[in-house]
Amino acid sequence: MIRINLLPHREIARAARRRQFNVLLGLAVAAGVVAVILGHSVIAARQSAQEARNAFLEQEIAKLDSQIGEIKKIREQTQALLERKQVVETLQSNRTEVVHLFDQMIRLLPEGLYLKSFKQVGDTVTIDGYTQSSARVSTLMRNLDDSPWFESAGLVEIKAATVNNLRANEFVLTVKQSRQQADAATEGGKA
């Protein structure tokens, strides 16, 4: 029988398998390193692209914020101009009211009643004066209520006073000026 020694052949096959394993292991490690490097570079590229987009958005947001600030300033200026225009229009429409107010006061004032002060705040007119008797104050209040230019006359106070060594009654009353009727009379006068 022929005897063949297979030990060197097995050793050679083992060595070849080891070399093949080491080569495959090296290729796997190299492929893993390449995959990690490629993954890192892709992630870094995406991150830098996103940072560039974020920077662009921040620049555009800053531009829009400045434009919004300008728009707010323009709106404030527009509102101020509209308020001024409204004041001018109100003054323009109410400029004849003072004339009508004094004209009506002269017509409605009974004899023996003297005015000390005449003050208007908004629609409310405050009248201070002196009279010889309190009946004349009530006559004035009735006249004011009957007038189309005034409404809601109310006596605030009446008290005894001495004026130029004469006994008199000092009074304070308030009345509201009727603007709707004043506007209607003005429109009727224009027509």
For 141-190, how does the pLDDT look when each residue is reduced to its tens digit (9 = 90+)?
A: 888 888 888 888 888 888 887 777 777 888 888 888 876 544 544 455 55
Report the C-alpha gap between 49 and 186 in whole angstroms. Answer: 72
Task: Please check whether residues 133 and 100 belong to one and the same domain.
Answer: no
The CA-based angle 91-92-96, given to 5 degrees, is 90
Task: Please check whether residues 78 and 124 belong to one and the same domain.
Answer: no
Average pLDDT estimate for 14-26? 95
Say which amino acid occupies 77.
Q
pLDDT of res. 19: 95
- CA dist 124 → 9, 70, 149, 173, 176 (Å): 125, 41, 12, 10, 5
Residues whose CB falls within 8 Å of the CB of residue 136, separated by 6 or more in sequence, listed in order? 110, 111, 112, 113
Residue-wise pLDDT tens digits, 26-42? 999 999 999 999 999 99
The number of distinct structural domains making up the chain is 2
Asked whether the predicted pLDDT for residue 101 surpasses 90, the reply is no
Say which amino acid occupies 3.
R
Candidates 169, 91, 189, 86; CA nearest to 128 is 169
Say which amino acid occupies 29.
V
Candidates 107, 113, 109; CA nearest to 130 is 113
Q: Classify residue 51: in a domain, yes or no.
A: yes
pLDDT of res. 62: 95
Q: Classify residue 190: in a domain, yes or no.
A: no
Task: Please check whether residues 37 and 92 belong to one and the same domain.
Answer: yes
Report CA 152 to chain centroid distance, whole Å: 36
Helix (H) or strand (E) holding 76: helix 7-94
What is the domain extent for residue 92?
Answer: 9-108
Report the C-alpha gap between 34 and 174 in whole angstroms. Answer: 96
Task: Please check whether residues 127 and 90 belong to one and the same domain.
Answer: no
Report the C-alpha gap between 143 and 139 in whole angstroms. Answer: 6
